[in-house]
């Protein structure tokens, strides 16, 4: 089966969130199961400069404001997955993130930058750009690639089945309705049955409406986005797709996240030989300037500092954690007010709270390995990867019962512990008191060494590998193709 994955970022070349991790791992897992997989990525500097063995597939010419567009084919470094790269210097070769400039402002031509990504995907799916390879499935990821589904729908002869994955419905790719004229689509696509969304055009809606199948990155999130609370105005569209919407839980790349083989740790460890985790904790405390105390519950946070991620709840629950003798190690960036607040707390309580603004992959590994618990208090969470990394590293998750967090962490209540199922601490209400209660329960469990060791062992025994996710995606591709041909 030939599958084309389309996205705006990929680990380790360009990463702003979990989307990049998925694209870095899922294609490899599918290839391991026999699929013929290729990627399509925009020609961002970090991508063009890193992809190896590049050759020109075709010259597309001027498109979407770029005077020259060239389609290249090469291979990803490290994984060697085949990858098409859209070389359009005017649209992609610029500093900043894939979506914003260095000042945090959205690129004003994002509508053209990501329309081109979808347009090229659709023309590859139609067999019009590479005579040697035509995908049977076009798998578009998040709003940046969603227009591929609309362009395929506007190309009736295209035989490829389209699958669209929602990684985060909160980010919808909204643009002024006047920008529709830049897309080159028939006018009917701007109707309420198409891209129109409250007087704007929505790339996210393009994926939801025109893909043959829609997936989310966890089963619970697939149900949540059909409700007004989590649907961000698109819940009616999701409900309208009915059984075409399903959830496939993300996995963890065991080659990247493995405490037994992680060369960046102070000491490697495993479920069978967990002693090294204590060494990692001590090393992290020294690195961050925290008091070196084995008896202190060291809570870790690796997250964007936003209200979506519930980091205001963590800030409000900090006094209780400190009062119980716990410590906080936080790495993240986001809302300036939250950044400033956490830095102020760290300054006022040096030795007990450490904050690092920004993201560093190596520190993320050391922090998750060295912490005793990892906190993910999100108001909504499509899947969440941090808690999965925590489970793999024996770092007990403390999470809110939403989305993928609900699907992956089993609360350490009495019933679950007796059934040998508990892997973390789960709370329900998005309030500081509820989070504080979960942290209090974690602190109490931490004082019972045998109980905490059992939690760690269960956590590390969980299997959230990409192999299972790839199997489920392969089955979804097969059923979509069967239905399309039937």
pLDDT per position as a tens digit, 248-292: 999 998 888 999 999 999 999 999 999 999 999 999 999 999 999
pLDDT for the residue numbered 485: 64
pLDDT per position as a tens digit, 312-360: 999 999 999 999 999 999 999 999 999 999 999 999 999 999 999 998 9
pLDDT for the residue numbered 160: 94
Question: Is residue 266 included in any domain, yes or no?
Answer: no
pLDDT for the residue numbered 157: 80
Instruction: Give the structural domain span for 45.
Output: 2-251+467-485
pLDDT per position as a tens digit, 44-96: 999 999 999 999 999 999 999 999 999 999 999 999 999 999 999 999 999 88
Domain co-membership, 88 together with 180: yes
Domain co-membership, 234 together with 185: yes
Does the pTM surpass 0.85? The reply is yes
pLDDT for the residue numbered 222: 98
pLDDT for the residue numbered 448: 97
Domain co-membership, 355 together with 220: no
Residue 486 has pLDDT above 60, yes or no: no
- Residue (of 157, 163, 158, 112) closest to 137 by Cα position: 163
20: CATH: 3.40.50.2000
pLDDT for the residue numbered 253: 87
Q: How many CB atoms lie within 10 A of CB 222?
A: 20
Domain co-membership, 234 together with 311: no
Tell me how far apart the alpha carbons of residues 442 and 448 are, in angstroms, rounded to a whole number: 10
Give the Cα-Cα-Cα angle 172, 175, 177 (nearest 5 degrees).
130
Average pLDDT, the chain: 96
Q: Considering its fold, how many domains does the chain have in total? A: 2
Domain co-membership, 98 together with 173: yes
pLDDT per position as a tens digit, 398-444: 999 999 999 999 999 999 999 999 999 999 999 999 999 999 999 99
Over residues 198-208, mean pLDDT: 97
> Where do the H-state alpha helices sit in 297-431?
311-323, 336-348, 361-370, 386-392, 403-408, 414-418
> Where do the H-state alpha helices sit in 211-356?
219-224, 228-231, 235-241, 276-288, 311-323, 336-348
Domain co-membership, 290 together with 237: no
pLDDT per position as a tens digit, 100-144: 998 889 999 999 999 999 999 999 999 999 999 999 999 999 999
pLDDT for the residue numbered 103: 84
């Amino acid at each position: 089966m030939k599958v084309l994955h389309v996205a705006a970022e990929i680990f380790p070349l360009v990463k702003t969130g979990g989307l990049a991790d998925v694209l870095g791992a899922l294609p490899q897992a599918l290839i391991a199961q026999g699929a013929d997989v290729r990627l399509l990525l925009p020609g961002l500097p970090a991508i063009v400069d890193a992809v190896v063995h590049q050759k020109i597939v075709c010259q597309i010419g001027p498109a979407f404001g770029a005077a020259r567009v060239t389609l290249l084919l090469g291979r990803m470094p490290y994984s060697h997955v085949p990858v098409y790269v859209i070389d359009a210097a005017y649209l992609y070769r610029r500093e900043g993130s894939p979506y914003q400039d260095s000042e945090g402002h959205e690129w004003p031509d994002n509508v053209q930058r990501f329309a081109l990504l979808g347009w090229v995907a659709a023309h590859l799916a139609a067999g019009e750009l590479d005579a040697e390879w035509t995908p049977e499935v076009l798998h578009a990821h998040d709003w940046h690639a969603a227009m591929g589904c609309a362009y395929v729908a506007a190309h009736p002869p295209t035989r490829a089945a389209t699958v669209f994955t929602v990684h985060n419905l909160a980010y919808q790719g909204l643009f002024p309705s006047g920008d529709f004229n830049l897309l080159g689509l028939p006018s009917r696509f701007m109707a309420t049955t198409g891209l129109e969304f409250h007087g704007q055009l929505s790339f996210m809606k393009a994926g939801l409406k025109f893909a043959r199948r829609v997936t989310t990155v966890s089963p619970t999130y697939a149900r949540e986005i059909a409700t007004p609370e989590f649907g961000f105005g698109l819940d009616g569209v999701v409900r309208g797709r009915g059984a075409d919407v399903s959830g496939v839980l993300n996995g963890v790349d065991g080659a990247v996240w493995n405490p037994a083989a992680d060369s960046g740790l102070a000491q490697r460890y495993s479920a069978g030989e967990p002693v090294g985790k204590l060494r990692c904790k001590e090393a992290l405390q020294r690195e961050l300037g925290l008091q070196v105390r084995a008896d202190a519950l060291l809570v870790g946070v690796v997250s964007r500092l936003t209200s979506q991620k519930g980091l205001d709840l963590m800030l409000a629950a900090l006094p209780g954690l400190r009062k119980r003798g716990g410590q906080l190690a936080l790495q993240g960036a986001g809302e300036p007010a939250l950044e400033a607040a956490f830095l102020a707390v760290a300054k006022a309580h040096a030795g007990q709270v450490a904050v690092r603004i920004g993201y560093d992959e190596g520190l993320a590994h050391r922090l998750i390995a060295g912490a005793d618990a990892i906190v993910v208090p999100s108001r909504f969470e499509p899947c969440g990867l941090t808690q999965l990394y925590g489970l793999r590293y024996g770092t007990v998750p403390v999470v809110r019962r939403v989305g993928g967090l609900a699907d992956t962490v089993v609360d350490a209540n009495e019933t679950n512990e007796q059934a040998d199922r508990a892997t973390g601490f789960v709370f329900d209400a998005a309030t500081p008191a509820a989070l504080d209660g979960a942290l209090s329960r974690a602190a109490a469990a931490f004082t019972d060494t045998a109980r905490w060791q059992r939690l760690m062992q269960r956590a590390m025994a969980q299997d959230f590998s990409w192999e299972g996710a790839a199997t489920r995606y392969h089955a979804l591709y097969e059923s979509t193709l069967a239905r399309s041909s039937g």
